[in-house]
């Protein structure tokens, strides 16, 4: 049996949810205060039979794995391991990871932890370290933050670290694999990577030391230096400080993303705790995904120079691709979050946060300021660039709104702008229907509640095309169970379905509903048939209108006949 199936058969969602909130039985369900948002009246509902949860307040919902992933901020594999450990279910080792590789990773994590201890001792127990401490205090970084974020110092020496670890029997080759030393060119031996630098440990979400960043205090180039890619660290995969601030980020619902370590610490020192840093590198898709995991909105606050604006531009583009909300906080030329807060204070910075530009407004401002916007050719060029960015957004309604905004800002005809955009038909179909219609929702409740009615629906209902409905993917999967004579299997259901659609399904199945009858199911089918007919009639009407404009009168007659047939059919469904 697969490990996931073992967990589903062993674990109990009510038991797990009870670790996060108090739940009480109400009829055949359990209810309690939602563990994902603050509320006074219980809206968090659990179905022990189906092993599903849903909150009618904030919309969170899913199965036991979703619950653990959301509450513990874990990926799916991490949630599997978490539940397996809790219920003493052994996890088979992944074949693609050899024992040698697992052993190496373990060694590198241990070595990185030892290196952190070495750097920390340097900061507090050496003369050079005192100079580094003075620098940090001059930058208004408190001892509390220095301790909380385990800041250290690398001595201004070519071989201090390597000699320290040689005495412990650690080979230079292993230090090289950890990214702590470099091999000498044209001669044998190694030398320390970090020299004369304040050290910022880069931690995984679970608190393991994966890498280091260093800021010179001797004006060496580069000013900031990060660890290279190693077996335990991949550049662009982590956000500095998120392991520490993730709960505050989630609570606030927004992440203020800065560029570097000192900017991050400046915000923390000022009491802004919903922040993280992109490690001074260009923002990556992995970092955007990570940020969106913890907050629905990211506010990018990079430096106020040309490089910072270009980095923010790339960041907005990546957020558009991921379908995640993004704003940009624009600082004055020459400022960064650290220097701005020190010069103007936290209140003015908070004012900038509150008045951050939306991603699309930032893009428009950026290109308008760069070009000669009064020239038609330049305006056209900018419009096409902006449309290319908007095309990346998966949600058609957001795309539509953004086109209106571009039209308004550039004083361009909105219809002409819409002609430029290329639509992803599959994305549009999945998004366009929005929430379930009442008849869809009730029909689904009936089919999942009463297997006899479901069997009747899939075997006997004729002339009903449900593929135009948002619930079509659900009905298609459900049909496979009933036509095949199988019982509904929710884990299998989830694997075959879009996660957002599954969440919507779990919501409607948790709602309290009256007893099911075949007559009510027939009423739902009739309502949905009428919806399909009305939709088809409107489409035909639009076609006729278009053909009239084009003067193609010969094609209109067949459409009028089809429209008349639909009207007659509609008269049978008052």
Per-residue pLDDT tens for 243-278?
A: 999 889 988 889 999 999 999 999 999 999 999 999
What's the confidence (pLDDT) of residue 549? 72
Average the pLDDT over each of 15-29, 98-112, 287-301, 334-348 and give the range with the smallest value.
98-112
Residue 235: inside a domain: no
Q: Are residues 71 and 104 in the same domain?
A: no
- Last residue of one domain, picked from the residues 191, 226, 261: 226
The pLDDT value given to residue 1? 40
153 neighbors 119 (Cβ within 8 angstroms): yes
**DSSP for residue 94:** P
Same domain, 543 and 476: yes
Residue 535 domain boundaries: 433-574
**Number of alpha carbons in the 13 Å side-chain half-sphere of residue 219:** 0
Indicate the residue among 86, 120, 140 that finishes a domain. 86
Copy the structure tokens of residue 81. 């391991």
What confidence score (pLDDT) does residue 452 get? 84
Which is more confident, 289 or 110? 110
Considering only residues 432 and 317, tell me which one the structure prediction assigns the higher pLDDT.
317
Q: 19-49: string of b/e by CB count within 10 Å (b at 16+)?
A: ebbebeeeeebbbbbbbbeeeeebbbbbbbe
Q: Which residue has the higher pLDDT, 467 or 86?
A: 86
Residues 256 and 379 in one domain: no
Residue 92, in any domain of the structure: no
The count of other CB atoms within 10 Å of the CB of residue 95 is 6
| pLDDT confidence bin for 102, thresholds 50/70/90 | low
Q: What is the pLDDT of residues 287-306, one digit of tens each?
A: 887 888 788 899 999 999 99
Confidence tier at 376 by pLDDT (50, 70, 90): confident
Q: What is the pLDDT of residue 512?
A: 65
Is 508 domain-assigned? yes
User: Residue 323 and residue 21: Cα distance in Å, rounded?
Assistant: 31
Q: What is the pLDDT of residue 356?
A: 97
Of 166, 194, 226, the residue at which a domain comes to its end is: 226
468 shares a domain with 544 = yes
Both 489 and 566 in a single domain? yes
Residue 233 resides in a domain? no
Share of the chain above pLDDT 90, in %: 42
- What CATH number corresponds to the domain at position 56? 3.90.580.10
Q: Are 131 and 180 contained in the same domain?
A: yes
Query: Do 407 and 513 fall into the same domain?
Result: no
**Predicted local distance difference test score (pLDDT) of residue 428:** 42
Tell me whether residue 93 is in a domain. no
Instruction: Return the pLDDT at 415.
Output: 85
497 occurs within a structural domain: yes
Cβ atoms 420, 434 nearer than 8 A: no
- Tokens 């259901």, residue? 493
* Token pair of 146 as six digits: 């220095």
Per-residue pLDDT, 570: 67
Q: Do 20 and 135 sit in the same domain of this protein?
A: no
CA distance 222 to 180: 17
Task: Tell whether the model's pLDDT for residue 389 goes beyond 50.
Answer: yes
> CA-CA distances (angstroms) from residue 310 to 301, 317, 320, 330?
12, 11, 16, 12
* Shared-domain flag, residues 36 and 111: no
- Whether 182 and 289 map to the same domain: the answer is no
Chain segment 306-333, per-residue pLDDT in tens: 999 999 999 999 999 888 899 999 999 9
Other beta carbons less than 10 A from residue 398's beta carbon: 16
pLDDT (0 to 100) of residue 134: 96
Mean pLDDT of the 170-185 span: 95
Do residues 454 and 569 both lie within one domain?
Answer: yes
Could you give the dihedral angle defined by the CA atoms of residues 367, 285, 240 and 261, in that order, rounded to the nearest 10 degrees? -30
Task: Count how many domains the chain has.
Answer: 5
Highest mean pLDDT among 166-170, 183-187, 537-541: 166-170
Considering the domain boundaries, does residue 138 fall inside one? Answer: yes
30 and 126 share a domain? no
- What CATH number corresponds to the domain at position 266? 3.40.1360.10
Q: Is the dihedral of CA 338, 342, 346, 350 positive or negative?
A: negative
Of the two residues 1 and 328, the one the predictor is more confident about is 328
Assign residue 280 a region: left if phi > 0, alpha if psi is -120 to 50, beta otherwise? left
Nearest-CA neighbor of 455 among 496, 486, 490, 492? 486
Distance between CA atoms of residues 409 and 401, nearest Å: 13
For residue 306, give both structure tokens.
């040309």
**Comparing C-alpha atoms, which of 430, 435, 358 is closest to residue 396?**
430
Token pair 């297997």: residue: 451
CA distance 24 to 42: 10
Q: Is residue 237 part of a domain?
A: no
pLDDT at residue 281, rounded to an integer: 60
pTM, to two decimals: 0.62
């Amino acid at each position: 049996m697969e490990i996931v199936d073992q967990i589903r058969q062993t674990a109990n969602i009510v038991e797990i949810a009870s670790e996060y909130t108090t739940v009480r039985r109400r009829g055949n369900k359990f209810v309690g205060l939602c563990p994902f948002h603050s509320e006074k009246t219980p809206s968090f509902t659990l179905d022990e039979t189906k092993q599903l949860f849903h909150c009618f307040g904030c919309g969170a919902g899913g199965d036991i794995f979703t619950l653990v992933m959301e509450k513990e901020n874990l990926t799916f594999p991490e949630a599997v391991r978490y539940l397996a450990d809790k219920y003493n279910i052994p996890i088979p080792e992944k074949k693609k990871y050899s024992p040698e590789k697992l052993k190496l990773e373990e060694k590198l994590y241990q070595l990185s932890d030892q290196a952190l201890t070495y750097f920390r001792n340097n900061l507090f127990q050496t003369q050079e370290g005192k100079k580094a401490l003075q620098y940090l205090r001059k930058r208004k970084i408190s001892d509390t933050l220095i301790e909380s974020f385990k800041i250290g110092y690398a001595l201004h020496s070519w071989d201090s670290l390597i000699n320290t670890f040689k005495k412990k029997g650690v080979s230079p080759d292993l230090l090289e694999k950890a990214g702590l030393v470099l091999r000498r060119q044209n001669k044998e031996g190694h030398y320390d990577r970090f020299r004369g630098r304040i050290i910022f440990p880069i931690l995984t979400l679970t608190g393991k030391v994966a890498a280091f960043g260093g800021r010179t205090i001797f004006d060496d180039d580069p000013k900031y230096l990060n660890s290279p890619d190693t077996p335990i660290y991949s550049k662009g995969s982590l956000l500095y400080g998120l392991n520490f601030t993730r709960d505050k980020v989630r609570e606030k619902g927004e992440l203020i993303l800065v560029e570097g370590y000192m900017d991050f610490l400046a915000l923390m020192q000022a009491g802004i705790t919903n922040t993280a840093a992109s490690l001074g590198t260009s923002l990556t898709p992995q970092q955007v995904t990570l940020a969106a995991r913890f907050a629905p909105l990211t506010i990018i606050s990079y430096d106020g120079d040309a490089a910072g604006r270009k980095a923010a531009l790339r960041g907005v583009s990546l957020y558009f691709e991921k379908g995640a909300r993004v704003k940009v906080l624009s600082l004055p030329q020459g400022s960064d979050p650290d220097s701005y807060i020190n010069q103007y204070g936290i209140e003015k910075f908070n004012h900038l946060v509150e008045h951050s530009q939306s991603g699309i407004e930032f893009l428009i401002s950026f290109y308008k300021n760069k070009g000669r916007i009064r020239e038609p050719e330049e305006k056209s060029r900018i419009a096409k660039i902006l449309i290319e960015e908007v095309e990346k957004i998966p949600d058609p309604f957001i795309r539509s709104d953004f086109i209106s905004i571009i039209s308004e800002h550039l004083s361009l005809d909105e219809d002409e702008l819409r002609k430029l955009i290329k639509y992803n038909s599959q994305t549009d179909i999945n998004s366009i229907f929005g929430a379930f219609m009442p008849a869809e929702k009730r029909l689904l409740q009936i089919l999942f509640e009463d297997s006899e009615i479901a069997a009747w629906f899939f075997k006997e209902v004729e002339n009903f095309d449900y593929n135009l409905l948002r619930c079509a993917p659900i009905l298609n999967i459900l049909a496979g169970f009933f036509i095949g004579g199988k019982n509904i299997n929710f884990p299998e259901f989830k694997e075959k379905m879009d996660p957002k659609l599954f969440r919507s399904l779990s919501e409607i199945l948790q709602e309290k509903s009256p007893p099911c009858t075949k007559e009510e199911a027939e009423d739902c089918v009739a309502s949905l048939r009428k919806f399909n007919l009305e939709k088809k009639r409107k489409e035909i009407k639009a076609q006729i209108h278009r053909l009239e404009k084009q003067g193609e009168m010969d094609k209109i007659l067949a459409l009028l006949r089809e429209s008349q047939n639909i009207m007659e059919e509609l008269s049978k469904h008052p």
